[in-house]
């Protein structure tokens, strides 16, 4: 099967859970392409397949059939260990619940992915300081999560996700635990990271006004892509 050199390509991707009469088809043949430098929002009601799609994008799951290509590599043919390496070296993750280590400083939380890469201590510190400055937290390096607001904690999580300079940032409901004002702050930060730093970003969100920060929205329904549209606000 020939693969074009897009950053991400889904071609006729299906995902079935269970077997026989107990089986459930979460994805029914999904097609889309995401190129480097895009900012894409994935939306859809509960059960539409968007979370399954994100799990496949993040190499936490594999398609039942079809092609998922990442930088020209057929991810479905990779073993579990190879997918783990792809996550570690090419992808950054932001979650709804922040997932920070509660007893460690913001700086140490951001250094964590660099430790997994066995980077030297001075390189880890330099990169973490730069990432915290990028998200507007210069001066907060020594604070623990308990000393930070929810919006600040999510900024630390974003710094941790970008410290390794990943090919793509995957954000699963990144504003789900934040109030409206903080949600718009975080979405504005993500838009800035995309427009000024060129980071490719894919987010899942339920909120149309937050999805509007992205340049493009892919809307799922019943395991299929229902619509794709360009967003004026995010461009």
Predicted confidence band of residue 148 (pLDDT cuts 50, 70, 90) = very high
Question: Which residue, chain included where needed, has tokens 């995401």?
Answer: 34
Helix (H, G, I), strand (E, B) or coil at 111: helix
Predicted confidence band of residue 2 (pLDDT cuts 50, 70, 90) = very low
**What would the pLDDT profile of 15-57 be if each residue is shown by its tens digit?**
999 988 889 999 999 999 999 999 999 999 999 999 999 999 9
Give the mean model confidence (pLDDT) for residues 106-131.
Answer: 95
Q: Residue 234 has what pLDDT?
A: 44
> For a pLDDT cut of 70, what percent of the chain falls above it?
97
Q: Is 1 exposed, middle or buried (0-12, 13-18, 19+ CB in 10 A)?
A: exposed
- Single out the residue of 232, 175, 227 nearest to residue 204, CA to CA: 175
Q: Residue 21 has what pLDDT?
A: 85
Q: Residue 41 has what pLDDT?
A: 97
Strand residue runs (E) in the chain: 8-17, 24-34, 39-43, 65-70, 73-74, 91-95, 168-172, 200-204, 216-221, 224-230
Q: Which CATH number fits domain 37-59+79-230: 3.40.50.300, 3.30.110.30, 1.10.357.10, 3.20.20.70?
A: 3.40.50.300
Q: What is the mean pLDDT of the chain?
A: 93
Q: Residue 5 has what pLDDT?
A: 80
Q: Residue 4 has what pLDDT?
A: 54
Predicted confidence band of residue 233 (pLDDT cuts 50, 70, 90) = low
**What would the pLDDT profile of 198-215 be if each residue is shown by its tens digit?**
999 999 998 999 999 999
Q: CA-CA-CA-CA torsion for 6, 98, 151, 167, nearest 10 degrees?
A: -20
CA 150 to CA 167: how far, in whole Å?
Answer: 26
pTM beyond 0.85: the answer is: yes
Neighbours of 147 (CB within 10 A): 12
């Amino acid at each position: 099967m020939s693969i074009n050199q897009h950053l991400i390509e889904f071609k006729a991707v299906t995902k079935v859970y269970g077997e026989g009469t107990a089986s459930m088809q979460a994805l029914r043949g999904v097609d889309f392409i995401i190129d480097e430098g895009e900012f894409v929002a994935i939306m859809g009601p509960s059960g539409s397949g968007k979370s399954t799609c994100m799990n496949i994008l993040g190499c936490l799951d594999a398609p039942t059939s079809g092609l998922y290509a990442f930088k020209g590599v057929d991810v479905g043919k990779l073993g579990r260990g190879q997918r783990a390496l792809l996550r570690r070296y090419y992808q950054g993750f932001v979650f709804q619940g922040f997932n920070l280590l509660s007893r460690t400083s913001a700086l140490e939380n951001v250094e964590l992915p660099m430790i997994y890469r066995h980077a030297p201590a001075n390189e880890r510190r330099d990169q973490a300081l730069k990432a915290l400055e990028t998200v507007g937290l210069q001066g907060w390096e020594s604070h623990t999560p308990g000393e930070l607001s929810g919006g600040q904690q999510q900024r630390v999580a974003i710094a941790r996700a970008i410290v390794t300079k990943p090919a793509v940032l995957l954000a699963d409901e990144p504003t789900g635990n934040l109030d409206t004002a903080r949600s718009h702050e975080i979405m504005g930060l993500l838009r800035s990271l995309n427009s000024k730093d060129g980071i490719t970003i894919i987010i899942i969100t339920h909120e149309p006004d937050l999805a509007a920060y992205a340049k493009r929205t892919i809307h799922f329904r019943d395991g299929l892509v229902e619509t794709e549209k360009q967003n004026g606000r995010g461009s």
